[in-house]
Structure 1
Amino acid sequence: MLLLRLFTLLALLAVSFFPAFAQDILLTGRVQAQATKAAIPFVNIGIRGKNVGTIADENGGFSLRIPAQLAHDTLTFSAVGFQEQSRAIAGAQQHTVVLAEKATALKEIVVLGRTPKTRRIGTTTHSPVIWGQVRDRETHDIREFAKLISLGSRPAELVQAHIFLRYPTVDTLAFRLNFYRVAEGLPGERLIEQAILVRTPIENGWLTIDLTKYDLRLQTDFFVGFEFLPGKEPAVPVTQSKFAQPIFSYGGQFGGAAISRSSSLGAWKREPGASLSAYLTVRQ
């Protein structure tokens, strides 16, 4: 009887400690278009809402380490202009992911007034004591900030996007502008299936992005997302610095709420008390 109890105890201990020895899963691969077989750059890849993700590079390649406890979850691939795809993580270490293009829909006709006026919607000021930092990290992932743009009942032509940045430690910055429907006070599904990728010199002050060439016209409230894309290499290797080096700081203003996420397809976080210094110039 004593021997049986000892055997049962050892078995229970083995089960208890098994997760501690489970290994993470390293997924690598490439994302390409179904019709052309061409690589799709900067695809968002992640476990939706779990803050585990990455972004494909300019050649569609990706590498993502999945914690062992999420091995039975689902990995989602999302790209502007393509059908979203989800795949089981378990049993797969290498992926060749093929995404189908979305059918091109006719643009909704948005009629402006006879004499549209130029307006600035959002937070057009910044406080010297409200700011945050974006840092290089070991993971190859995004950082995205969203700003609510309230059009009211009047349709608008989007002219420019603006965000206040300062203290850069890099010469240029790559990011993508996204437009989302409003869903329970947070960004929801993508509203515009058009890739707006920007690579620009960065310096202190307002960064302005021209939107006129994209012919963007909307007539409902929405979120504009500033999705900052990671560089090829960290500015300071993680092994040499306890804290990753700041790439730049972003401005803010008292009041409202800051909305952001720190991972591809990750959960949006709402922090009340201060809002992002960002706005759109529109014609209404």
Structure 2
Amino acid sequence: MKGFWLLIAGLLLLPAIALAQPNTIKLKGITVDAANHIPLPFVSLGLKGTDLGTVSTSNGEFELSVAEKHVSDTVVISMVGYMQLRYTVKELSQLLKANPQIPMEAATYTLNEVEVTSKKLRTVTLGNKATPAGVGMTPFKFSNLGNEIGLLCKVKGKTTYLEEFNVDIFLNDYDTLFFRLNIYTVENGLPKDNILHEPVYLKFTGKKGKANINLQPYNLVVNEDFVVSLEYVKRLKKVDLTRKEQSGLYFGARKAFGGTVFTRTASQADWNIISSGLFAPKMAVEAKSQ
């Protein structure tokens, strides 16, 4: 069984072969801040309700090939901290021909009131904190930017202050891991709105260990269940090809009853639910709760 899962994980790492199609529309441009025209990195672009999507590079550049049958479909351009843009494929294609820059306006947020309480807070771990020795997994299809995996965190209606996110790196053959952290509200059992007001990234170098993010500077307070996720937004450079049976990136995982896992292949794709599956990633949020 172990060999089977390692085989599946390895197959997910194979690069996709992009075949040129004769009837396609190429969307190519640069995402920029509307106020200063500085390139915006890691902006998500995707066709609503489909697996078609990408993420702009660290220089704001993007390229997405779309079949002509999607000409009337909606392209959503989004990034935490900025107003979301929506165009049909035809509209966006025409805009890019006139000007390759896509300006994005900074969003304004109304800060929620935080209730100060004298109650003693207790430390809690939300998500999946169990990592049996020898269990590893890889949740991403690395050929597609925008792939995402998330885990349901239950707070049971208690006011909860999020302090740290962490994930176990079981094995890493890449130079630097780089993912975007997202934290979503839950509606009808699915991730809905991102509660973050600015992008938060996870960076990790090394073969294995715990990768973490200090969440305290972001003043994140929740009182309802939420989903914490990692999104693949930057191509990874593989530096170790010596292993044959097990290589690539494996996250620590838990066998069975690991909680509800959510995955999607692009920023505007539908979410898939894996409830109490065979493996769930060791992703956790350390918090203080009433």
Alignment TM-score > 0.5, same fold? yes
1:190 to 161, 178, 194: 194
Q: Give the residue type in structure 2 aligned to 1:115.
A: K
Asked if 1:217 is matched to 2:221, the reply is yes
**Identity across matched positions, percent:** 22
CA distance in 2, matches of 1:50, 1:179: 21
Would you tell me which structure has more strand in proportion to its own residues?
A: 1
Larger Rg: 1
Aligned to 1:262: 265
Given that residues 151 and 260 in structure 2 are in contact (C-alpha distance below 8 angstroms), is that contact kept between their aligned partners in structure 1?
A: no
Q: Give the residue type in structure 1 aligned to 2:229.
A: G
Partner of 2:142: 136
1:42 match: secondary structure: coil
Contact 2:153–2:225 (8 Å) recurs in 1: yes
Q: Residue 49 of structure 2: SS of its match in structure 1?
A: coil
Partner residue of 2:161 out of 154, 157, 172:
157
Runs of 5+ in structure 1 lacking a partner?
Answer: 1-20, 237-244
Q: Does 2:276 correspond to 1:273?
A: yes
- Of the three residues 112, 125, 141, the one matched with 1:120 is 125
Number of residues of Structure 1 aligned to a counterpart in Structure 2: 254
Amino acid at match of 1:276: P
Partner of 2:252 in structure 1?
Answer: 251
When the two chains are superposed, the root-mean-square deviation of aligned CA atoms in Å is: 2.4
Q: Classify 1:178/1:112 alpha carbon distance in 2 versus 1 (closer, same or farther; 3 Å).
A: farther
Deviation of residue 105 (structure 1)?
1.6
Q: 1:205 to 1:29 in 2, by over 3 A?
A: same
When residues 202 and 73 of structure 1 are mapped into structure 2, their CA distance, relative to the original with a 3 A threshold, is: farther
CA contact under 8 A between 2:57 and 2:234: conserved in structure 1? no
Structure 1 residue 178 and structure 2 residue 179: aligned?
no
Deviation at 1:235, TM superposition (A): 7.5
In 2: Cα distance, 1:207 partner to 1:266 partner: 27
- 1: CA distance, partners of 2:140 / 2:172: 10
Q: Per-residue deviation at 1:77?
A: 0.2
Task: Kindly state the Cα deviation for residue 102 of structure 1 after the two structures are TM-superposed.
Answer: 1.2
- 2:170 is matched with 166
Distance 1:258 1:246, change over 3 A: farther
Give, in whole Å, the separation in 2 of the partners of 1:202 and 1:214.
26
Q: CA deviation at 1:263?
A: 1.4
SS in 2 for 1:167: strand
Match of 1:12 in 2: none
Distance 2:215 2:34 in 1: 29
Deviation at 1:155, TM superposition (A): 1.1
Q: Structure 1 pair 213/202, CA: closer, same or farther in 2 (3 Å)?
A: farther
Q: Gaps (5+ residues) in structure 2?
A: 1-20, 241-245
Query: Structure 1 length as normaliser, TM-score?
Result: 0.80
- Bigger drift between 80-89 and 68-77 goes to 68-77
Instruction: Report which stretch shifted further, 28-37 or 202-211.
Output: 202-211
Q: Say which SS state the counterpart of residue 174 (structure 1) adopts.
A: strand
When residues 268 and 108 of structure 1 are mapped into structure 2, their CA distance, relative to the original with a 3 A threshold, is: same
Distance 1:258 1:198 in 2: 19
Distance in 2 (CA, whole Å) between partners of 1:153 and 1:134 is: 31
> Which amino acid counterpart does residue 134 of structure 1 have in structure 2?
F
Alpha-carbon shift at residue 129 of structure 1 (Å) = 4.8
Higher mean C-alpha deviation, range 273-282 or range 77-86: 273-282
